[in-house]
Amino acid sequence: MSHTVRARGALAALLTLGVLVTSACSFVVVGTPRSQGMPTQSVDDGTLRIVGATDGPIDTLARNALADLQTFWSESFPDVYGQQFPPLTGGYFSVDPDDVDPSLYPDGIGCGTDPRELENNAFYCSSQEAPNSDSISYDRAFLGELAARYGEVLPQLVMAHEYGHAVQARVGYPQTSIATETQADCMAGAWTAWVAAGDAEFSSIDTDDLDQLLRGYFLLRDPVGTGTGEQQAHGSYFDRVSAFQEGFDDGATACRDDFGPDRVFTQGEFTSDADFATGGNASFPDTLSLIESSLPEFWSRAFTEVLDAQFAEPQLEGTTSPPGCAPADVALVYCPDGGDGDGLVAYDERFADQAYELGDFAVVTGVAIPYALAARDQLGLSTDDTAALQSAVCLTGWYAAQVYNQQLTSVRISPGDIDESVQFLLTYGNDPDVLADVELTGFQLVDLFRAGFVNGAGSCDVGV
Give the per-residue pLDDT at 224: 63
The answer to whether 399 touches 298, Cβ cutoff 8 Å, is yes
Give me the half-sphere count of Cα atoms (radius 13 Å) on the Cβ side of residue 335.
20
> Cα-flanking dihedrals φ and ψ of residue 334, to 5°?
-125, 130
Angle made by CA atoms 131, 132, 138, in degrees to the nearest 5: 125
- Residues paired with residue 315 on neighbouring β-strands, in sequence order: 344
Quickly list H helices, 107-206: 140-150, 153-171, 177-196
Angle made by CA atoms 234, 119, 114, in degrees to the nearest 5: 110
Alpha carbon distance 59, 45 (integer Å): 10
Residues 6+ apart with CB under 8 A from 21: 173, 174, 175, 176, 177, 178, 179, 180, 181
DSSP assignment string, 119-144? TTEEEEE--TTSTT-SEEEEEHHHHH
Alpha carbon distance 98, 118 (integer Å): 10
Alpha carbon distance 207, 311 (integer Å): 38
Give the per-residue pLDDT at 18: 23
Give the per-residue pLDDT at 268: 72
Alpha carbon distance 107, 444 (integer Å): 45
The answer to whether 222 touches 267, Cβ cutoff 8 Å, is yes
- Residues paired with residue 122 on neighbouring β-strands, in sequence order: 25, 138
Cα separation of the two ends of the chain: 29
The answer to whether 118 touches 125, Cβ cutoff 8 Å, is no
In order along the chain (464 residues), what is the average pLDDT of each group of 10 residues? 32 26 31 36 76 94 96 98 97 96 95 95 90 96 92 94 97 92 96 96 90 86 62 80 96 96 82 66 92 96 96 94 78 87 91 95 96 97 94 97 91 84 93 84 95 96 93
Count of Cβ atoms closer than 10 Å to residue 111 Cβ: 20
Domain spans in the chain, listed from the N-terminal domain onward: 24-257, 278-459
The answer to whether 316 touches 291, Cβ cutoff 8 Å, is yes
Alpha carbon distance 389, 451 (integer Å): 14
What is the value of pTM for the model shown? 0.87
Give the per-residue pLDDT at 321: 82
Alpha carbon distance 48, 70 (integer Å): 10
Alpha carbon distance 211, 215 (integer Å): 6
Count of Cβ atoms closer than 10 Å to residue 458 Cβ: 15
The answer to whether 222 touches 195, Cβ cutoff 8 Å, is no
Give the per-residue pLDDT at 29: 28
SS3 317: strand
Of 44, 145, 61, which is closest to residue 97 (Cα–Cα)? 145
The dihedral sign for the CA sequence 46, 150, 429, 291: negative
